[in-house]
Structures are given as structure tokens and as C-alpha cells.
Amino acid sequence: MKFVLTGGGTGGHLAIAKALLDAITAAGDEAIFIGSTTGQDRMWFGEGSAFEQTHFLETTGVVNRRGIAKLAALWRVARSALEARRIMKRYRPDAVISVGGFSAAPASFAALSLKIPYFIHEQNAVTGRLNRLLRRYARCFFSSYDPESPVKSYPVNRALFETARVRERVETVIFLGGSQGAKAINDFALAVAPALARRGIAIIHQCGERDYERVREAYAAMGIGAELYGFTKELPSLLARSDLAVSRAGASTLWELAANGLPALYIPYPYAAGDHQYYNAMHLAEQGLSRVVREAELRPELLEQMLDDGVEAASRGLRALEGDDAAAAIISAVREAC
Ligand SMILES: CC(=O)N[C@H]1[C@@H](OP(=O)(O)OP(=O)(O)OC[C@H]2O[C@@H](n3ccc(=O)[nH]c3=O)[C@H](O)[C@@H]2O)O[C@H](CO)[C@@H](O)[C@@H]1O
């Protein structure tokens, strides 16, 4: 079978595209990618990816723009949709799967106008604008928070299941800012680092490229030897070594931590559309599997409290969540629906 995967912008969407691609190629099938020239699409799939072809079309976000800027963004989507139609007429895919984000708009409209079976994977607890608009036209809508979804587990890198373990005590804390890094989490890490050092707890910290120098200098000034990364491709092995995470609640990160049995204190990005990071985190917090705190209410004592309470029960609970190979299950559901 031939697939088109579309969508991206940020790592959360692209991580799903990658997991689906792996499931497609493992089954001996093939796929092409249609994404955007803006955002992180090229960084993920620019060179040496396993896609048969990759196309980066000119699109920018539409939702937060006004006036002329919005019209210009819509014009770019329309022009790129025509280009996506030309690509699909040549490639003749059996199915188009959108992982959301503004990068997905041209290929989604092209698929629907050509009547190619169309599928959506929504990563977040609050459905994004484009997915809300197009959901009614999709043959299946996959979401880990929707009881109606044909597959409820979330596609994550298999390595996270393979290295999963129950955490009995906290020897290493990892700070995670999502694919772009988060200044608030960086500041929090620096504020709690001395207390962690006093307890003999090691620190791993993914701080984002933009804030890397500042954070590096701050650790050096405190004489604390944190293991620091801007953006790293080795995240799965870093998570496997960690016992507690302090993290944004981007969907892919959240389900990767869950798959690995790694409990977290989630600090949702306050400006995410529809506050979706908060609802992503609440999905786990309501089951007692992690904690969530608003950025404005973040206090060092909260982390200390979690260290005192221990993480074993939460870690065991995460390991008990449904955790099959979601990407393969999604691809086989797509195959059946075509
Ligand atoms: C600010 C914002 O709007 N963020 C959104 C964005 O988050 P963001 O792009 O940060 O997405 P996620 O947290 O979902 O995923 C980040 C991905 O990048 C990977 N990674 C991250 C850092 C690193 O150094 N190396 C690395 O490989 C992670 O393992 C993960 O697979 O998309 C998510 C999925 O729609 C949403 O839930 C988030 O709300």
C-alpha cells in the first residue's frame, strides 16, 4: 500500500509521523511526506529519512493571524493545496494520514478533493482547529483521549517500551522543555538544582537551543555538574536513565514518559491552543499517575514533596497502562478502513 503522511510544525506532530512511517516500512509498504517549509519539518525529515519522497510546501499558521496576514496565510495554503494535488495525482496513494498542525492543511484539502481515504491522528486532549474542521470527513479519527477511537494507545518510539522499568527511588531527575525548550522550566531547574545536589540526585536537563548558553553558565556558576542538552536525538536513553521528570505536557513527551514508566511533575505550556497541555496532563493526574501544576503556581516545595512521597506507585500505574504497538495498530486500522 502507498501512504501519504502529512502534518508537522513541532516535534509533537512529527514524532507521530515518524512512528507511523516506521510501522509502514516494517510492514513492507511505502510512504511519502508532505509538510511545510516552516517549522521543524525539514529538521526531522530533510535528509536521509525513510520516506520515498518528501515535499515541503510553503505554509504558515493561519489561526493566530489577522487581516492581511491571515489572507496571505490562507492564500499560501490554497496555492500549496494545488501543489499537493499534483503530487498525489502522480503518486496515487491509497490513504492519506494527517498528524495535524498547519503543515497538514494543503495535503488534507488535496486528499479530500481527490476523494482519497483520509485519516487523522489527534495528539492532544483538546482537538486542534484543522482537525476539528476536517474530522467529519475522516474515515477514522485516532485519539488517546477519545473513547470512540479505534486505537487508544499513543504511537511512541518502541525503545521507550523496551527500556521501561518501575522506578523505586529517585536518583536522577530530568527536566524537559519539549521540542523547543521552555524558559520557565529552565528557571525552575536552576532554582531547585542546589536542593537536588544536596540530596545527591543527578540532573539531566534538555533546555532548548535558544537558552542553552545561559543555562550552562548558571550551572557552572553554582558548581553543579548537570548533564545539559539543547535538543538531543538521544532522548529515549536519557529518559530510561531518569527516575522523575519535570516537563511540559506536550502530547508526545507525555506518552513517551508514560510508556517508559517515568512519573512526572507536569507544567503545561500556558498558551497552548485551548489549554490542551493542561488537559493532556490532567488525563494522567486524575488517575494518580503524575502531578500537574500551573506555571504560575510552581514552587520548589512541590518537587521536594514528590521526592518525599516517592514515585513507585505512580511508576507502577504507568506501566499498567495499555501499551501495545499503537503505530502498527493505527496502520492496520487504516488498511481495514480503505
Ligand atoms: C508549545 C506547543 O504548542 N507545544 C505543542 C507541541 O509540542 P512539542 O513539539 O514540544 O511536542 P511534544 O512534547 O508532543 O513532543 C516533542 C517530541 O520531540 C522529542 N524531543 C524533544 C526534545 C529533544 O531534545 N529531543 C527530542 O527528540 C520528544 O521525544 C517528543 O517526541 O506539539 C504537541 C503535539 O501536538 C502539543 O501537545 C504541544 O502542546
ipTM of the complex: 0.95
Rounded mean pLDDT, 52-79: 88
The DSSP letter of residue 139 is S
Confidence of residue 234 (pLDDT cuts 50, 70, 90): very high
C-alpha closest to that of 104 among 158, 41, 47: 41
Confidence of residue 329 (pLDDT cuts 50, 70, 90): very high
Q: What is the pLDDT of residues 20-33, one digit of tens each?
A: 999 999 999 999 99
Confidence of residue 278 (pLDDT cuts 50, 70, 90): very high
Q: In testing the pocket of ligand 1, which one of 127, 229, 252 has its CB within 8 Å of the most ligand atoms?
A: 252
Q: Which of 61-75, 123-137, 261-275, 281-295 has the lowest mean pLDDT?
A: 61-75
The answer to whether 10 is annotated as binding is yes
DSSP 12-54: HHHHHHHHHHHHHHHTT-EEEEEEESSTTHHHHHSSS-S-S-E
C-alpha distance from residue 129 to each of 62, 98, 192, 285 (Å): 10, 13, 37, 25
Percent of the chain with pLDDT over 70: 100
Rounded mean pLDDT, 293-297: 97
Confidence of residue 61 (pLDDT cuts 50, 70, 90): confident
What is the 304 CA–ligand 1 centroid distance (Å)? 26
CATH topology of domain 2-153+324-337: Rossmann fold (3.40.50)
Domains 2-153+324-337 and 159-319 share a fold: yes
Confidence of residue 70 (pLDDT cuts 50, 70, 90): confident
Q: In testing the pocket of ligand 1, which one of 10, 156, 206 has its CB within 8 Å of the most ligand atoms?
A: 10
Tallying the residues shown for the chain, one arrives at 338
Domain positions in the chain: 2-153+324-337, 159-319
Q: What is the pLDDT of residues 192-203, one digit of tens each?
A: 999 999 999 999
Confidence of residue 94 (pLDDT cuts 50, 70, 90): very high
The answer to whether 244 touches 263, Cβ cutoff 8 Å, is yes
The terminus-to-terminus CA distance of the chain in angstroms comes to: 10
- Tell me the average pLDDT of the chain: 94
Which residue type, as a one-letter code, is found at position 229? Y
Contacts of 115 (CB under 8 A, 6+ apart): none
What is the 154 CA–ligand 1 centroid distance (Å)? 14
Res 323 pLDDT > 80: no
Res 320 pLDDT > 80: yes
Res 305 pLDDT > 90: yes
Question: What pLDDT does 98 receive?
Answer: 98
Q: What is the SS3 assignment for 262?
A: coil
List % helix, strand, coil for the chain (3-state, nearest 5): 50, 15, 35
- Classify domain 159-319 by CATH architecture: 3-Layer(aba) Sandwich (3.40)
The answer to whether 11 is annotated as binding is yes
C-alpha cell at 166: 518501575
Q: Which residue has the higher pLDDT, 281 or 10?
A: 281
Give the predicted TM-score (pTM) of the model. 0.87
What is the 204 CA–ligand 1 centroid distance (Å)? 17
Res 42 pLDDT > 90: yes
